[in-house]
Amino acid sequence: MELEFYGAAGRVTGSCHILKVNGRRILLDCGLIQGLPEEEALNAEPFPFEPSEVDAVVLSHGHIDHSGRLPLLVSRGFSGPIHTHPATRDLALVLLQDSARLNERDTRYRNRLRARKQLSPLDPLYTVEDVVDTINLMQGLRYGEKKEILPGTAIRFMDAGHILGSAMVELWLTENGRTTKLVFSGDVGQYGSPILYDPAEIGEADLVVVESTYGDRLHKDRDLTLVELAAIIEAARAGKGNILIPAFSIGRSQELLYLFGKYHEEWGLGDWQIFLDSPMAIEASRIYWQYPELYDEEATRLRRMAHEMPKPENLHFTREVEASKKINDIEQGAIIIAGNGMCNGGRIIYHLRHNLERPECHVVITGFQAVGTMGREIVEGAETVRIRGDDFRVRAGIHTLGGLSAHGDRDDLLRWIGGFSTRPHVYVVHGEAAVKDSFARTIREETGLETTVPAPGDIVHL
């Protein structure tokens, strides 16, 4: 029995680990590497195994950095089952189709440049057809149900509280009459976040593989975040402006709609028009509303009272481009949630062109902004930004809300690890190098558990 760390061990994105049990091969996640172009080029490299020789995949959740290389695995020969939560299968269809379309568009653009240099055209990483083949291999497994997926390998999903359908994976691996219990954290959510349950406590494990995205820092207080959001709405009302929220389609957008529904009266949202201006976020919201059994106590109670998922009354879904453009006629009283979250593309760009130079308007940043994105420039206080070739002065109010992350912070991760009744060996993955080292140290100091930060290609014999 062995576990090989392949993807996320060496970097933040591209989660993938390889298990060998009883001569069978199981992948835990198969994520896309995201980042600089030279890093993303690694996605097209061969897998360090023959895809047709993989017996099964276990997928923790739908985010592209965990699922995004699956269509490539399938197009290169994998034809086994992909075990995942039914909600993850629904979200993965939306996310992977989007990923395929972006990739096909990007490849067409690069091929035009290559043609000018008389270079041969490239193939996209995968196509929408590959995505359909991938979804067809997915087998749904609900939280709390134990299932033998291969001889000697049983799994059970527990709620990770990160996005809808996100799972921590318990694995019971039996070889030569000896059973080892491995727990793979996937991505761990924040305790106390709206809509979803807190990360589940798991009693026993011999080994734990844990993510460490925010393993070295604490999020801003959630209650304070709500106070800030209310104050921004008040300021925009007084100044007679609009509010723009560049949003991530899965999770953050649904959380915002939920909060706007919950605090509708309190924040005086009756006078506002709220727009969800992103076809992908609209699709993801629809999926969130189809799984009320996954809501925590508060969301269940609010849903019962309203007979539907709490969301603001004056909410408009704008799927068509024309409807999106019409929003720009509104000078005041609009809250516009549009992708993408880092302002490096998507419809938010056009709303920024119309509102960024107006001091009475406000831009609310709700998530991590990567280096090189316009979102990062704005957050770092740029005086002007260039949007589609034109310069715009940043005169709108810029606010960063820290309390809405889908990821647990250092204390959330520690709390989850502290929930084990056994003394597992902890392998720290899925974080920037310095963060992983720092979080492994924190675990040792706070819990006394043994920790390892594996390098890519490291193999642990179980």
E strand or H helix at 101, and its extent?
Answer: helix 86-116
Instruction: Report the alpha-carbon distance of residue 97 to residue 157 in Å, rounded.
Output: 25
Choice from 90, 98, 187, 228 touching Zn ion (CB under 5 A): 187
E strand or H helix at 175, and its extent?
Answer: strand 167-175
> What are the φ and ψ backbone dihedral angles of 410, each rounded to 5 degrees?
-55, -45
* Choices 61-69, 141-149, 283-291, 386-394; region in contact with Zn ion by CB under 5 A: 61-69
Q: Does residue number 360 form part of the binding site for Zn ion (CB under 5 A)? A: no
- Looking at the Cβ atoms of 187 and 255, the one nearer to Zn ion is 187
* Cβ-contact 248, 370 below 8 angstroms: no
- Minimum CB–partner distance for residue 88 and Zn ion (Å): 11
How many binding residues for Zn ion (CB under 5 A)?
Answer: 2
Q: Which amino acid is at 152?
A: G
* Choices 57-65, 216-224, 369-377, 435-443; region in contact with Zn ion by CB under 5 A: 57-65
- Looking at the Cβ atoms of 63 and 347, the one nearer to Zn ion is 63
- Minimum CB–partner distance for residue 254 and Zn ion (Å): 14
* Choices 126-134, 184-192, 385-393, 431-439; region in contact with Zn ion by CB under 5 A: 184-192
Q: Does residue number 63 form part of the binding site for Zn ion (CB under 5 A)? A: yes
* Choices 4-12, 59-67, 152-160, 413-421; region in contact with Zn ion by CB under 5 A: 59-67
Q: What is the rounded end-to-end Cα distance, in angstroms, of the chain?
A: 5
Q: How is 335-395 classified by DSSP, letter by letter? A: EEEES-TTSSSSTHHHHHHHHTT-TT-EEEE-S---TTSHHHHHHTT-SEEEETTEEEE--
- Minimum CB–partner distance for residue 213 and Zn ion (Å): 8
What order do you get walking across the sheet with 207-211 strand by strand? 146-150, 153-159, 167-175, 178-184, 207-211, 425-429, 451-452
- Looking at the Cβ atoms of 25 and 63, the one nearer to Zn ion is 63
- Looking at the Cβ atoms of 63 and 219, the one nearer to Zn ion is 63
- Minimum CB–partner distance for residue 187 and Zn ion (Å): 4
Q: Which amino acid is at 384?
A: T
In the block, which residue shows the tokens 């606010």? 399
- Looking at the Cβ atoms of 327 and 406, the one nearer to Zn ion is 406
- In 3D space, the residue among 20, 104, 92, 98 whose CA is nearest the CA of residue 56 turns out to be 20
- Looking at the Cβ atoms of 186 and 397, the one nearer to Zn ion is 186
Please calculate the CA angle 130-136-137 and round it to the nearest 5 degrees. 95
* Choices 7-15, 62-70, 324-332, 430-438; region in contact with Zn ion by CB under 5 A: 62-70
Q: Give the interface with Zn ion as residue ranges (CB under 5 A).
A: 63, 187
